[in-house]
Structure 1
Amino acid sequence: MDVFITGATGYIGFNIATTFRRAGYRVYGLTRSEQKAQWLQQQEIIPVIGDMKDPDSYREIASQSAVIIHAGIDYGDDTIAIDQTTVDTLTQICKEEESPQTFIYTSGCWMHGNTGCEPADESTPINPIDIVQWRPEIEQQVLQGTNVNSLVLRPGCVYGKRGGMTGQWFEGAVNGTINVVGDGTNFWTMVHAEDLADAYLLAAESGRDGEVFDISDRSRYTVRQMAEAVAQCVEGDPEINYIPTEEAAKNIGVTAEAMAIDQHIVSTKTERQLGWKPNHRGFINDVQIYFDAWKAHQKD
């Protein structure tokens, strides 16, 4: 069975691509780079040289794939427009094909906003923070697609392998200062990159349609606890610099709100309906392993 993945060389997309390949799928991965195309080939992933800005560069491959996964995001001034163009293209492709395809869209747990200590799940009314205010309409467009099994996955903060957002802490530790937005008493929803990829595979094979799935491991550590654990990964005594959200916003804009988010997201539905469960024990338990992996990736 053929699978097409946007963002196949990205942090999330690459782990999804390799997971599907290990499961025996023929995987096509969109990439803009000839160098990264070779990297995909080393993992038995068939590179599609193209760009989300140019739908014609991937339209043919997407139309012949049984599963389409949109895991790419093009950061910049036109992020929203590119995502909208990509979703428009992929939903139209699905609509035109004779046999229903499966289309999985990557959203995120920031759609829930701040939940505090109260657990939230897919049945909880969404309250997206500013940086993802545009996503509810995209989610609904995907879920209401015709002639397609449509699914939306909302990962928490992804860790492991190349590092994701936690990689910023690792870099800070190496350089002597770990910057944390807020006072660190907040909680992030976390999930390991491989556990997340497993959720995509199970979702694709589930046959379900019109469903949203939150993807979160069972760990409950404050940002302060995680930053302190990162500090222990290096020699010396790196400073942990807690920056008030309002001050951080002057430099990084609406991203500051995301860094200071306080959430408790549960994945009961994902576990029940997809049979998914996180295999990794949480960020702190193996933080040295995650640091060493991140450090090794800096040499790539």
Structure 2
Amino acid sequence: MPRKSVLVTGANGYIGSAVCRAFVRAGWQVFGLVRRLDAAGGLEADEITPIVGSLSDLSFLDSLFDHTKTFEVIVGCTEPPDYASHFHEAMAMFRRVAEVSNSSHVRPLVLWTSGCKDYGTTAVDGDPDLGPHTEVSPLNTPAVLSARATYSLKVLEQTDLFDATVLRPTNVFGYSSSYYGVIFEYAAKVVANGAKSLRIADVDPRSIMHAMHVDDCAEAYVALAEHGDRAAVFGQCFNISASEYETAEAVAEALAREYGLSSGAEFVAGSENSGNPSMAPALLPLLGFSQWVGSDKIRDVTGWTDRRPLFSQNLSVYRRSYEAAVRAGHEDIARIQGRQEFIKSALQNQ
């Protein structure tokens, strides 16, 4: 029996590579689109077939169709700064792949990645008005992400050649740790400066940090792709989140214990942080963007659930994994640092 095929864009990115590996584990034939030939080897090591090309030049599709002309699923896992141009180029490519698949009587399901920050923030832990963001919550997107939130929903309008679903995952951690790596970097800097406490400036300790392991996130993509009733999946949005959230205080206290800071964690005003290393630009949005994200919908529809420990519950393991990625010169480290600089610049220019 022939295996089903999936094409993943941004296959060497943090979420994209995890999604590729999850589909491999599920028995799919996985093709990963990357822009550079030197990124192909990493995909091959994970039993993923690399396709080298750019969305701005679709001539690479000839090499893709040499492998197969039918794709049951196409996954979009990229988020460049110029989101509008990227979206239009991606849709042109998706439509071409869908046309070829349609000619063999296969209608692809497109899983398009947006993010839970499309909703904006919620109240902090313990607030009487606290409630989770669900798929019916209004969008209150930060300006820096407004293009993503706007264009992601436009994929649902593409109904002639493929079915589409929008996914809104929370922040993810694990391995090279995505944006969570900056948390380790800050704690290490505090220790190097000889401090006895981990000082967190201008953050409410009750701020909700709702994140999950990247492997759990990737398994949610597979759960949607393999769901037997596509009518229950396409044309909709699905949040992906852990079953529990953490607070900035819980994460900071676990971090202080891990790094041997005898005075624990302190939450202070920025003016009280003299003598301590400055917080990295990406740390404040991580710790201070309070958001509880409900994922009952995907759990009820597909049966998916998260399995990995929360960040604070398994911090030592996640730290060692991140440090190993840094020593190995993992390309995610430089990519995330570049993304952090883009966010910092965008926030300063608002």
TM-score range, shorter chain: 0.7 to 0.9
Q: Give ranges in structure 2 of 5+ residues lacking alignment.
A: 124-129, 192-197, 271-279, 329-350
Cα RMSD of the aligned pairs, angstroms, is: 2.7
- The yes-or-no answer on 1:169 pairing with 2:174 is no
1:220 aligns with 2:245: yes
Change (3 A) 1:9 1:118: same
- In structure 1, the residue matched to 2:142 is 129
Q: Which moved more, 1:284-293 or 1:126-135?
A: 126-135
Conservation of the 8 A alpha-carbon contact between 2:23 and 2:30: yes
| Residues 181 and 259, structure 1, Cα contact 8 Å, conserved in 2 | no
Larger % of helix: which?
A: 2
Specify the code of the residue in structure 1 equivalent to 2:300: R
| Residues 135 and 91 of structure 1: CA distance in aligned 2, closer, same or farther (over 3 Å) | farther
Is the CA contact (8 Å cut-off) linking 1:169 and 1:227 kept in structure 2? Answer: no
Cα distance, 1:68 vs structure 2: 0.4
Distance 1:59 1:228, change over 3 A: farther
- Counterpart residue identity of residue 70, structure 1: G
Give structure 1 stretches of 5+ with no counterpart: 245-250
CA distance in 2 between counterparts of 1:12 and 1:164 reads 9
Corresponding residue for residue 150 of structure 1? 164
Match of 2:206 in 1: 185
Establish whether residue 101 from structure 1 lines up as the match of residue 108 from structure 2. Answer: yes
In 2, distance between residues paired with 1:86 and 1:43? 24
Shift of 1:115: 1.8
Structure with max Cα Rg? 2
Decide which moves more: 200-209 or 55-64: 55-64
The worse-fitting range, judged by mean Cα deviation, of 185-194 and 231-240 is: 231-240
The partner residue of 2:307 within 269, 279, 284 is 279
Partner of 1:198: 219
Structure 1-normalised TM-score? Answer: 0.86
The alpha-carbon distance between structure 1 residues 189 and 239, as it changes in their structure 2 partners (threshold 3 A), is: closer
Q: 1:71 aligns with which of 64, 70, 77?
A: 77
Q: How many residues align?
A: 291
Match of residue 50 from structure 1: 53
Q: Aligned-pair distance for 1:286? A: 0.6
Q: Given residue 15 of structure 1, which amino acid in structure 2 is its aligned partner?
A: A
Alpha carbons 1:155, 1:214 under 8 Å: kept = yes
Give the TM-score of the pair, scaled to structure 2. 0.75
- Alignment deviations for residues 221-255 of structure 1 (CA, whole Å, 9 cap, x no partner): 212321332233234569878676xxxxxx959x9
Q: Tell whether the 8 Å contact from 1:176 to 1:239 is kept in structure 2 after alignment.
A: no
Distance 2:60 2:221 in 1: 24
Does residue 20 of structure 1 match 2:23? yes
Equivalent AA in structure 2 for residue 191 of structure 1:
M
Contact 1:131 1:258 (C-alpha < 8 Å) held by counterparts: no
Aligned-partner Cα distance in 2 for 1:286–1:222: 15
1:285-296, aligned counterparts within 5 Å? 285-296=313-324
Question: Is the contact made by 1:143 and 1:151 (CA closer than 8 Å) also made in structure 2?
Answer: yes
1:210, distance to aligned residue in structure 2 (A): 0.7
**1:223–1:180 distance in 2 versus 1, CA, 3 Å:** farther
Give secondary structure in 2 for the equivalent of 1:61. Answer: helix
State the shift of 1:260 in Å. Answer: 2.7
**Map of 2:14 onto structure 1:** 11
Partner of 1:89: 93
Give the secondary-structure state (helix, strand or coil) at the position aligned to 2:89: helix
Aligned to 1:36: 39
Q: Aligned letter for 2:40? A: A
Query: Judging changes above 3 Å, is the alpha-carbon distance between structure 1 residues 256 and 290 closer, same or farther for their aligned structure 2 residues?
Result: closer
User: For 2:266 and 2:41, how far apart are their aligned partners in 1?
Assistant: 39
- Kept after mapping to 2: 8 A contact 1:104/1:151: yes
Equivalents in 2 of 1:256, 1:88: separation in Å? Answer: 37
Residues 115-144 of structure 1 deviation map (CA, whole Å, 9 limit, x = unaligned): 212122112222212222113332322112
1:115 aligns with 2:122: yes
More moved, 217-226 vs 170-179: 170-179
> In structure 1, how many angstroms separate the alpha carbons of the residues matched to 2:185 and 2:255?
10
Alignment match, 1:231? 256
Equivalent position SS for 2:51: strand
Cα 1:299–1:94 change in 2 (3 A) is same
State the 1:188 CA deviation: 2.1
